[in-house]
Copies of this chain bind each other. A is one copy, B any other.
Amino acid sequence: MSGVRKERADAVRNREAVLAAAARLFADHGGPERVSMDDIAQAAGVGKGTLFRRFGDRTGLVRALVEQRTERLRAQVVSGPPPLGPGARPDVRVLAVLDALLRFKLDNRPLMLALENADVGSPYQNEAYELWHAQLMALLAEVRGHRDADFLAHALLAAVRSDLIEHLVRAGKSPGELCEGTAALVRAVLGGADSPEAGKVEEKGEAG
């Protein structure tokens, strides 16, 4: 009775080995473009054929890596506890989401930089982007109406793009400064109040 055979154990092992090796090499070398597929295969301890059979091509590998990395964060936003997840006030949540995204990218700096630069237009081809955008747009609409919510959500996300973060960090900005800047942007977009009272979004951590 041949139904569907399970995925072979060695295949699973190899796939994970490749993803792990790729993540490390991309991070080490600061960009997927700077690592050859041969190097990845060798570091993972598999043949080149295996690598390409699994992931199709370089882009496929990068995409798989993106999905693996963002899944955790996505889960937190979709169904985690407030303020990131549902339940918090929309204004609070906008800041929480942006802040989480920023911190996530700071924590995975070389990798996320590599991933967003995978190829032309890649940050916008990433499936996760749609999610962040839809989420932010809905929240913005709640806070300040539907007008321009679409574009403004894109603008907020653009402000935490990996290469901008990289640029600022290299220019000497501290993570705290970036968080503070992001918060200021969010405040401005949310309702304009620059003063804390109008839309006091409780300060999250960094700006302590």
Contact = CB atoms under 8 A, between A and B. Distances in A.
A164 B117 contact: no
B166 A159 contact: no
B30 A164 contact: no
Contacts of A164: 124, 154, 158
Chain A interface SS verdict (over half): helix
Contact of A166 (B121, B166, B185): B121
Interface in A16-61: 30-31, 33
Taking the full assembly, how many copies of this chain does it contain? 2
Query: Range of interface residues on chain A?
Result: 35 or more
Interface string A166-208: 1110000000011011101100110111100011000000000
Interface string A95-133: 000000000000000000110010111011000000000
Interface of A: 30-31, 33, 113-114, 117, 119-121, 123-124, 144, 147-148, 150-152, 154-155, 158-159, 161, 163-164, 166-168, 177-178, 180-182, 184-185, 188-189, 191-194, 198-199
